[in-house]
Structure 1
Amino acid sequence: MTAQARVAAIDCGTNSIRLLIASRGADGSLIDHDRRLELVRLGEGVDATGRFSPAALERTFAACDQYAAVIRELGAGRIRFVATSAARDVSNRDEFTAGVRARLGIDPEVIPGAEEAALSFAGAMAGVEVSDEPAMVIDCGGGSTELVLGRSGADGPVIEAADSLNVGSVRLRERFLHDDPPTAGQIRAARELVRQMLDGSAVDVSRAATVIGVAGTLTSLSAIHQGLKVYDREKVHASRLTTDEIHRVAEVLLASTVDQAEAMGPLQRRRAEVICAGGLIVEEIAARMGADEIIISESDILDGIAAGMLDD
């Protein structure tokens, strides 16, 4: 594949579907030609029903139609569509696969949590400078939360431990945090589940000398903390949240209604609906970290997918 060749990476999670069209620069760096996100909530109700709802599929397919047009316009020669947590758990996956194939000409790859973790780690490590190792990457999604501990290596990142916790912002909100704002009892039950999962995790988060946070929950927490009213990717990337700051933001979100959360920063409605749950998960992880802050990276699993295609 030439340095000028363009690829299209699509990451379809429980809450969002994202597109990156990229190529390699002369210096080997990744060049963005288009990067966009739609909050389609594909995993809405999956935790309870085990199926994608017709409305969620319709929203997701509409985004695929938009992405197909952008991919054609920008001339990306290869597409990889990666589906994560929600698509692992459903009984009507064939309907989802057929709809994606009809619009993009490829089948979505429903990747296991271990591969999702590896791609997130590679993308995050390429996006920020890490001085102290081992480093841990946190990717708090809608359906699952990936934790990856590793180091830099001569031939790329070396993963020492990884885990995909079966809890994310959408799943936790739907299962426990039913009121607006959630009650104290609901919050206690949600914390208990997250703590149990962290207790049994293959990743010892206390070992992390550097912690990198990627994807929508972490970038949204940073934007809220900074008081951004319009999302600014440059201000969010490489920003830092201390454990005390994470605690304060999470507690404010858990005490707020969805309307109040939406007004705090540049949050789309479907993000505002679940950000309190995402904040709780990150807060519980931060309480156990060996590091005293999280570095926020805009480089994540999308960048890992695109880099993999360009290097192949």
Structure 2
Amino acid sequence: MAETVAALDCGTNTLRLLVATTDETGRLVEYDRQLRFAGLGQGVDATGQFADEAMERGWAIVDEYLPVIKRLGATRARFVATSAARDASNRQVFFDGVRERLGIDPELISGQEEAQLSFNGAISGARLDGDPVLVMDSGGGSTELVHGTAAGEISQSVSLDIGSRRVRERYLHSDPPTADQIAQARAEVNRLLDGCPVELGDIATFIGVAGTVTTMVALHLGLKQYDRDRVHRSSMTAAQVAELADKLLAMTVDEVLALGPVAPERAKVLCGGALVVTEVAKRVPADLQASESDILDGVVLSIIRDGLGYRLPG
């Protein structure tokens, strides 16, 4: 076995942890994977700053994760921050608080690096039906689209400033959203996709990672409680994605929450993410496969295979 490492992914909605290693064949061996809703991107699209209460939530989650990291014997770690942190002018305040707790420097990664890490993580655990492969990381603040091969070679990638929280806060103000709000959001998503440099029409394997896609698949499967094993590698057609998105856009947050497998913080923004996923899926000829292997897995592999990250104190 390789050394045990910790990956922390700080997104717009969630702050997640994976403690893992790799076996003698290079495959990932997972010890613990956890998710908390920090809502760090709360209001960032409007103010350009992290809210004080959002940073406090994030620090409290790091405090929860630290004993887990120590108990499992992780020796190195990476804390990567993505879309919301790229937009927040006061991100250094948050990073300083993280450093005080973990003893390592948080990293603000670019959309390009985020795309590479997501792609590497996704193909490490997904069902690969042929080339080309498209990995869609549908986050709270941005959506990464990565075109490549099952061997891990990337040919095209882009990070688009459309995600579940950003779309919800910018366009879908009512509960449920009005037809005009939905039309405006859909027009903006398609405007960005029309200018997207990533080829979508030749895809043989279409993999979706992150909470919007996995939650949509859980709902499609009729799960009353979220089941990671059942969601992983399950698929939806573009028509099924669109039908579910229309249903979610017509529901209140409380109605979405009552469906069962949707976490409370996810329920608030799921309709925005579903709209984004739908418009991408319409342009891709392959079914959408949900993968529970994602950027966290890619970060772990980057530490073990590429020697990135920082040694944890003590």
TM-score > 0.5, shorter chain as reference? yes
Q: How far apart are residue 4 of structure 1 and its match? A: 4.3
Q: How far apart are residue 26 of structure 1 and its match? A: 3.0
Question: Hey, which bits of structure 1, 4+ residues long, moved more than 6 A?
Answer: none
Distance 1:241 1:104 in 2: 39
Distance 2:73 2:198 in 1: 40
- Deviations along 1:109-168, one digit per CA (max 9) or x if unpaired, are 010000000000011111123132101001100000000000133xxx110100000110
Q: How far apart are residue 265 of structure 1 and its match? A: 2.8
Aligned to 2:123: 125
- Deviations along 1:82-102, one digit per CA (max 9) or x if unpaired, are 000000011101101101101
Tell me the amino acid that sits aligned with residue 266 of structure 2: R
2:290 counterpart SS class: strand
Asked if 1:169 corresponds to 2:164, the answer is yes
Q: How far apart are residue 287 of structure 1 and its match? A: 0.8
Aligned to 1:99: 97
Aligned to 2:311: none
Q: How far apart are residue 107 of structure 1 and its match? A: 1.5
Aligned to 1:245: 240
Distance 1:133 1:265 in 2: 35
Q: TM-score, normalised by structure 1?
A: 0.96
Distance 2:180 2:265 in 1: 24
Aligned to 1:280: 275
Q: Show structure 2 runs of 5+ residues with no match.
A: 308-314
Tell me the amino acid that sits aligned with residue 204 of structure 2: A
Does structure 1 conserve the Cα–Cα contact (< 8 Å) formed by 2:130 and 2:150?
no
Does structure 2 conserve the Cα–Cα contact (< 8 Å) formed by 1:242 and 1:294?
yes
2:140 counterpart SS class: coil
Q: How far apart are residue 69 of structure 1 and its match? A: 1.4
State percent identity of aligned pairs.
Answer: 52
Aligned to 2:300: 306
Distance 1:116 1:228 in 2: 30
Does structure 2 conserve the Cα–Cα contact (< 8 Å) formed by 1:223 and 1:265?
no
Tell me the amino acid that sits aligned with residue 107 of structure 2: E
Aligned to 1:32: 30
Trace 1:71-150 onto structure 2 (pairs within 5 A).
71-150=69-148
Aligned to 2:211: 216
Q: How far apart are residue 225 of structure 1 and its match? A: 0.8
- Deviations along 1:1-52, one digit per CA (max 9) or x if unpaired, are xx24200000000000100000112332111111000011100000000000
Query: Cα RMSD over matched residues?
Result: 0.9
Trace 1:5-16 onto structure 2 (pairs within 5 A).
5-16=3-14
Does structure 2 conserve the Cα–Cα contact (< 8 Å) formed by 1:262 and 1:268?
yes
Number of residues of Structure 1 aligned to a counterpart in Structure 2: 306
- Deviations along 1:155-187, one digit per CA (max 9) or x if unpaired, are xx1101000001100000000000000000000
Q: TM-score, normalised by structure 2?
A: 0.96
Q: Show structure 1 runs of 5+ residues with no match.
A: none
2:32 counterpart SS class: strand
Q: How far apart are residue 74 of structure 1 and its match? A: 1.0
Distance 1:144 1:267 in 2: 20
Aligned to 2:221: 226
Distance 1:16 1:47 in 2: 16
Does structure 1 conserve the Cα–Cα contact (< 8 Å) formed by 2:148 and 2:156?
yes
1:207 counterpart SS class: coil
